[in-house]
Structure 1
Amino acid sequence: KWTKDHPLYKIIGDPKSSVRTRGQLANSYLFSCLLSSIEPANVAKALRDADWVSAMKDELDQFARLKVWRLVPRPEGKSIIKTKWIFKNKKDESSLVIRNKARLVAVGYSQQERIDYDEMFAPVARIEAIRLFLAYAAHKDFTVFQMDIKTALNGKTF
């Protein structure tokens, strides 16, 4: 026995050698130093950092590649839903920043029910619709899958 609570067969490596972690910390944190670990609160702050500008450019490039973004004239008597940039750091299991993610989203909460709610598209499902979907899936004994998609679906589905 090595100690009364730690039998020798459970010890990995030589118990007489010291633990060396300085090199491991330097290597694992070196990559995270290259990414911005602070999430900007607004676009002005994001534009000061090249990493966040690159993430914003990637998001706009996805819009162009998927052909889901085009400039159109404003319809008469219709409200415009504004957009907002959301900035998030994607982290791995050990909470190290692995990627900066910028997402351009519609500000759907600015709509008012019975005034302009039905005239615009809000890209967010209402909680009632989600509950109805899950209840129906449970009733029919369907399997429901959840997944994380890199790019939001912003086009026509056929």
Structure 2
Amino acid sequence: MLGRYLSNPGSQHWKAAKKVLRYLEGTKDLMLTYQRTSLLDVVGFCDADFAGCIDDKKSTTGYIFMMAGGAVSWKSVKQTLTASSTMEAEYVACYEACCHAMWMRNFVSALGVVDSISRPLKLFCDNSAAVAFSKNTRSISRSKHIDVKFYFVKEKVAESLIDIEHMSTKSMLADPLTKGLPIIAFQEHVSQMGLLEA
């Protein structure tokens, strides 16, 4: 998020950059860890903040995919369209995560670690309206951009390639990718991502 202000940085951005450097110094001994398991399912978590950018009121999408107890892929990005509600912002995040989930399904199968991913890939979202919208049979949006995303996600859910389920906000692993969190909550999320001290 700090990178958004590279072309016109101010003193508050310098302070934020110093915080990032202090964070990196304090976490240099952390490493991604994975569990030995015969169950190699990929599980995704997606989240969005609503109108979080103070400059243009665009939302931020964050998603993370886990396998064997550790993070294998993640992304945080400002959404390209302006969402008109929390549900729209969360649904755009579901769409972005769905696109990446399809790539993950193909990538994991191509690695040959598992023969194929036969079950639907689970994707957790903390907005119950967005989850219901993904299982709905008709669009309720007036926006063509949202409609395209609606039909893509709906198609993947109908084909049993993706299963979107609700998860409480407190347990949402993608939360740190969309907003600042209190230190205790942040540390809990980081450890659940498989980042542990070496």
- Return the TM-score normalized by structure 1: 0.23
Rg: which structure is higher?
Answer: 1
Higher strand share: 2
- Return the TM-score normalized by structure 2: 0.20
Higher helix share: 2
Higher relative contact order (CA 8 A, sep 6+): 2
